[in-house]
Amino acid sequence: MAILIGDVAPDFEAETTEGHIRFYDYIDGHWAVLFSHPKNFTPVCTTELGYTAKLKPEFDKRGVKVLGLSVDKLQDHAGWAADIKETQGTALNFPLIADTDGSIARKYDMIHPNADNSLTVRSVFVIGPDKKVKLKIEYPASTGRNFDEVLRVIDSLQLTAKHSVATPVNWKQGEDVIIASSVSDDAAKEKFPNGWKAPKPYLRIVPQPRG
């Protein structure tokens, strides 16, 4: 059964490049990104892991724990990590899970028989502090993921979880946002005392809330 947005993310225990972890204990009140790789020593994944390692300070700034997953053995991860450092200029700096029996991949529905019976597709899960799935993206094996977009979505998710707003198309940190449809005009006057622009009654635009 597929994991959907709003579902509780399955817990698991795993061996990783940073030791044994229990997922729930590892994230413990943090946001998390879990992303899968078809297998070790694949060219696209090598670039993805290197770039994500470069972005680690940005994830840290947002309080986000990052975990990669591969169905290959833990002892193979060390050689791949060396290749990542050599070719991408950044060493692996977050746990890479060795899901050798595929049990985690099956829990998260990362293996698609129509694509391959054993290899994971390029899945990305963003999981909130409440351990619920907030975002799910899947890419084909031939297409590298956009981790700048993952950060952008995390910015939106964290903002909208705290304030009664939604973010418009192509929104970036610091840009105007939309008052959520669930907020009445009377309630909006209390939340946004400086008012808003409304080209249509249902489209109420305000500066991004701070704090």
| Structure confidence by residue, pLDDT tens digits, 65-76 | 999 998 888 888
Assess whether 47 and 121 both reside in one domain: yes
Catalytic residue positions, numbered? 45
Residue ranges of the alpha helices (H) in the chain?
A: 23-27, 43-54, 56-61, 74-88, 103-107, 147-162, 185-191
Question: From the CB of residue 186, how many other CB atoms can be counted at a distance below 10 Å?
Answer: 7
- The answer to whether 199 and 183 are in contact (CB under 8 A) is no
| pLDDT (average), residues 144-157 | 97
* Domain of residue 66, residue span: 13-145
Assess whether 134 and 181 both reside in one domain: no
Amino acid symbol at 172:
K
Question: Is 6 a domain residue?
Answer: no
- pLDDT(206) > 90: yes
Assess whether 132 and 191 both reside in one domain: no
Comparing 110 with 152, which gets the higher pLDDT? Answer: 152
Distance CA 193, CA 49 (A): 44
Question: Is 158 a domain residue?
Answer: no
CATH code where residue 178 lies: 3.30.1020.10
Assess whether 45 and 105 both reside in one domain: yes
Assess whether 133 and 104 both reside in one domain: yes
Nearby residues of 115 by Cβ (< 8 Å), 6 or more positions away: 121, 140, 141
Q: What is the pLDDT of residues 1-33, one digit of tens each?
A: 689 999 999 999 999 999 999 999 999 999 999
Distance CA 174, CA 106 (A): 38
Assess whether 57 and 131 both reside in one domain: yes
Q: Which regions of the chain does DSSP assign to beta strands (E)?
A: 13-16, 19-22, 31-37, 64-70, 96-98, 122-127, 133-139, 165-166, 177-179, 197-200, 203-206
Distance CA 59, CA 61 (A): 5
Amino acid symbol at 191:
K
Average pLDDT over the chain reads 92
Assess whether 22 and 58 both reside in one domain: yes
pTM here is 0.92
Assess whether 115 and 201 both reside in one domain: no
Token pair of 166, please? 């939604």
Task: Provide the pLDDT for residue 117.
Answer: 47
- Highest mean pLDDT (candidates 57-66, 92-101, 107-116, 141-150): 57-66
- What domain count does the chain have? 2
Assess whether 121 and 167 both reside in one domain: no
